[in-house]
């Protein structure tokens, strides 16, 4: 579990801290890389700009993506993740305040793996983050790093 | 309009010609018949006169027994070719002289005798005594050929025939001219009527060319056309006005629609921002209050911890309010479906989830009557979810409860209801029941946002129905609703 990096794309410092707090509380010891806007998220994922020098081991295993992000909107980030061969299968969980049908539809339409609405109640929020970490980092088997020869 | 099989001109000419020709032919026939019957008498009279003159001239020749003189006198008949033969007889009736002198013996009788006048095989015969005073000297016999008579009758008939034909010709010319005078107005009227019916042009007028009944007809026809034209113009005018009104209405509807669309877009943007931007600070308030409790709980003391719990509770309450407000706003925007819905089944599901959340409660759920209807399944689920959740909530202070979902027919219209035997409310405040944020109970007694029934009301209205309630304090509440009252 320690090798797996979580990329948290969140521009609200309070939400960021609460999310990290919730993760820590449930002993999720994975490294969490925080990016504050959509552009930075893409730079990190595709090793561009200030993140060009990051190591290959730093490749995230899970992306927690807010929708309301500066510069590039979270849904647009998702679209570009899915459009790129390198990140096409990367698990992306939308973590947002929005319960708009429009957003939910667009997210799933672009193959988001989950859509979690951040509850106002911090107890519920903590519980959601716990289940999220447990599921995606422990229970869920990620896709292999390279394409098997026998894959159809 | 098709061309007539026969024209009125032809009919008029035919009528006039038939009438005049019949009259002419009859007149001619009468004339010829009269001529044919009167001619023999005329010939006989002429012949008798001539015989009288000859007899008077012959007295001397007979008295002096001079046959040569007699022949001489009879020879005067040469001027009349119709006289074929003549003879004089003496007082004894013996042949005395003849004309012509050597006449065939078969033509004149040898002895005098017989009737005074008679017609003998195409000849007229006249016998005349020759007298001197009262003494009979002899007799005269005259034989005239009647063929000349026939000739005269034939000539006469021919003249009459020519007159008839000539008159008929004149009659034809006259009738042709006359029929033009009569038929022309009729033709003009017919042409005008045809033009009106073909071109739908009511400004056409028939030309009034006669002062008789046809003239009156044309005038009446024109008056009628004028009236139709007036109405046609009025009709076109109102049509134009109607079209204009319609266009204006369409423009207004379009303007209103675009206004509504823009309002809707603004509302959507507003909801979106409410959903995102109002909830984030609330989450921080609740989250950091919790963090404060966890990290610095010891320093806060019991009172501080209680205060912070209140802060958290308020934040959560506001979270619920925001969610309900968003739901209420969304209700007006979502498109409605219309399907068969079994409210009883939906009610069972809602009750199942409520029971699951609070399995310790002892609540009896009863369904009565046929609770199927047409409507939007997800919206009707919101209705039942709110009503049953309310019933569940307001019976929570009682050890046991009974919640009923049912339908009671009312004049063939279905009336659905959700009833409970819980806290109820004072009917004096019933008018506030469905207003947003209006609550009839204290938050400390029963929690709520005051938006649930407003939402139910909105959904029932969108289904063309009515919502009302009956209750008394501590005797439970019963909420009734109908659907599709406005539309069938």
Q: What is the DSSP string of B406-420?
A: EEEEETTEEEEEEEE
Q: Last residue of some domain: B170, B202, B227?
A: B170
Q: What is the pLDDT of residue B115?
A: 65
Phi-psi category of residue A92: left, alpha or beta, with phi > 0 → left and psi -120 to 50 → alpha: beta
Best residue of A14, A120, A127 to probe chain B, by most B CBs closer than 10 Å:
A120
Alpha-carbon distances, residue B116 vs A140, B82, B120, B135 (angstroms): 165, 19, 12, 18
Q: Last residue of some domain: B145, B170, B195?
A: B170
> Residue B13 CB: number of other CB atoms within 10 A?
19
In this predicted structure, the answer to whether residue A2 has a pLDDT above a threshold of 60 is no
In Å, how far is A98's CA from the nearest CA of chain B? 5
Q: Identify all chain B residues contacting A18, using CB atoms and an 8 Å cutoff.
A: 283-284, 287-288, 291
CATH of the domain at B366: 3.30.565.10
**Tell me: the pLDDT tens digits for A3-47?**
678 999 998 888 899 999 988 888 777 889 999 999 999 999 988
Q: What is the pLDDT of residue B116?
A: 67
Q: Which of A96, A100, A122 sits opposite B287 (nearest CB)?
A: A122
**Tell me: the pLDDT tens digits for B192-207?**
888 888 888 888 888 8
What is the average pLDDT across A125-138? 88
Q: Is residue B327 part of a domain?
A: no
Q: Is residue B447 part of a domain?
A: yes
Q: Is residue B329 part of a domain?
A: no
Q: Which CATH architecture has domain A5-138?
A: 3-Layer(aba) Sandwich (3.40)
Q: What is the pLDDT of residue B217?
A: 85
In this predicted structure, the answer to whether residue A1 has a pLDDT above a threshold of 50 is no
Q: What is the pLDDT of residue B3?
A: 61
Q: Last residue of some domain: B154, B170, B186?
A: B170
What is the average pLDDT across A74-94? 92
With CA atoms as reference, report the closest residue to A75 among A102, A43, A45, A47. Answer: A102
Kindly list the strands in the beta sheet with B467-471, ordered across the sheet, starting from the edge strand earlier in the chain: B362-368, B400-410, B413-420, B477-481, B467-471
B393 vs B446: CA distance, rounded Å: 7
Q: Measured in whole angstroms, how far is the alpha carbon of residue B53 from the centre of its chain?
A: 94
Take residue A131 and report the two structure tokens written for it.
């289940």
Phi, psi for B434 (deg, rounded to 5): -100, 5
User: Per this entry, what is the length of chain A?
Assistant: 152
Ranges of each domain in chain A? 5-138
* SS3 at position B378: helix
Do B284 and A14 make contact, defined as CB atoms within 8 angstroms? yes
**H helix or E strand, kind and range, residue B110:** none
Q: What is the pLDDT of residue A3?
A: 62
- Distant-in-sequence, close-in-space partners of B340: CB < 8 Å, separation ≥ 6: B372, B373, B374
In this predicted structure, the answer to whether residue A79 has a pLDDT above a threshold of 90 is yes
CATH of the domain at B132: 3.30.450.20
Residue numbers of chain B with a pLDDT score lower than 50? 1, 488
Could you tell me if B393 and B448 are in contact, meaning their C-beta atoms sit under 8 angstroms apart? yes
Q: Is residue B386 part of a domain?
A: yes
Alpha-carbon distances, residue A138 vs A28, A112, B457 (angstroms): 10, 19, 47
Q: Does B325 touch chain A (CB under 8 A)?
A: no
B79 vs B68: CA distance, rounded Å: 19
How many domains would you assign to chain B?
2
Write out the residue range of the structural domain in which residue B444 sits.
Answer: 334-481
């Amino acid at each position: 579990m320690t090798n797996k990096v979580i990329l948290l794309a969140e521009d609200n410092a309070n939400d960021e801290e609460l999310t990290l707090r919730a993760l820590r509380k449930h002993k999720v010891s994975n490294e969490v890389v925080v990016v504050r806007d959509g552009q930075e998220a893409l730079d990190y994922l595709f090793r561009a700009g200030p993140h060009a020098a990051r190591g290959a081991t730093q490749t995230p295993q899970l992306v927690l993506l807010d929708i309301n992000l500066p510069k590039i909107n979270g849904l647009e980030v998702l679209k570009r993740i899915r459009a790129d061969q390198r990140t096409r299968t990367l698990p992306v969980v939308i973590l947002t305040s929005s319960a708009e049908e429009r957003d939910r539809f667009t997210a799933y339409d672009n193959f988001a793996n989950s859509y979690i609405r951040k509850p106002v109640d911090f107890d519920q929020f903590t519980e959601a983050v716990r289940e999220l970490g447990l599921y995606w980092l422990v229970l869920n088997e990620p896709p292999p790093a390279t394409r098997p020869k026998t894959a159809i | 309009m098709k061309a007539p099989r026969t024209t009125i001109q032809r009919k008029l000419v035919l009528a006039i010609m038939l009438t005049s020709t019949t009259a002419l032919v009859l007149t001619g026939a009468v004339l010829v018949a009269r001529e044919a019957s009167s001619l023999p008498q005329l010939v006989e009279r002429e012949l008798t006169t001539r015989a009288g003159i000859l007899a008077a001239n012959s007295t001397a020749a007979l008295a002096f027994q001079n046959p040569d003189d007699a022949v001489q006198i009879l020879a005067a008949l040469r001027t009349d070719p119709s006289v074929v033969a003549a003879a004089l007889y003496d007082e004894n009736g013996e042949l005395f002289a003849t004309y012509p002198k050597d006449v065939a013996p078969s033509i004149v009788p040898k002895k005098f005798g017989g009737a005074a006048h008679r017609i003998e095989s195409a000849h007229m015969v006249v016998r005349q005594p020759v007298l001197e005073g009262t003494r009979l000297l002899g007799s005269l016999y005259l034989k005239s050929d009647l063929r000349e008579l026939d000739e005269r009758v034939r000539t006469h008939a021919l003249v009459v025939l020519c007159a008839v034909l000539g008159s008929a010709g004149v009659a034809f010319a006259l009738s042709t001219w006359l029929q033009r005078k009569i038929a022309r107005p009729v033709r003009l009227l017919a042409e005008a009527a045809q033009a009106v019916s073909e071109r739908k042009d009511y400004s056409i007028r028939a030309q009034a060319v006669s002062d008789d009944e046809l003239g009156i007809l044309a005038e009446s026809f024109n008056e009628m056309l004028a009236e139709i034209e007036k109405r046609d113009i009025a009709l076109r005018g109102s049509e134009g006005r109607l079209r204009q009104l319609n266009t204006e209405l369409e423009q207004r509807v379009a303007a209103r629609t675009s206004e509504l669309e823009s309002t809707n877009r603004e509302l959507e943007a507003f909801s979106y921002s409410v959903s995102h931007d109002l909830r984030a600070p609330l989450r921080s308030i609740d989250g950091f209050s919790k963090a404060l409790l966890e990290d610095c709980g010891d320093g806060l003391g019991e009172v501080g911890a209680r205060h912070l719990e209140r802060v958290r509770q308020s934040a959560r309450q506001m979270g619920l309010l925001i969610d309900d407000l968003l739901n209420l706003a969304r209700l007006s925007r979502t498109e409605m479906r219309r399907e068969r819905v079994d409210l009883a089944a939906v009610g069972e599901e809602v009750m199942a989830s409520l029971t699951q959340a609070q399995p310790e409660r002892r609540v009896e759920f009863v369904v009565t009557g046929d609770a199927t209807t047409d409507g939007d399944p997800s919206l009707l689920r919101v209705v039942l979810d709110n009503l049953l959740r309310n019933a569940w909530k307001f019976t929570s202070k009682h050890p046991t409860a009974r919640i009923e979902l049912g339908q009671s027919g009312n004049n063939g219209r279905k009336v659905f209801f959700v009833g409970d035997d819980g806290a109820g409310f004072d009917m004096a405040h019933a008018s506030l029941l469905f207003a947003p944020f209006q609550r009839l109970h204290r938050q400390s007694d029963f929690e709520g946002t005051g938006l649930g029934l407003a939402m139910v009301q909105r959904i029932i209205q969108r289904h063309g129905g009515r919502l009302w309630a009956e209750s008394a304090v501590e005797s439970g509440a019963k909420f009734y609703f109908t659907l599709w009252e406005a539309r069938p």
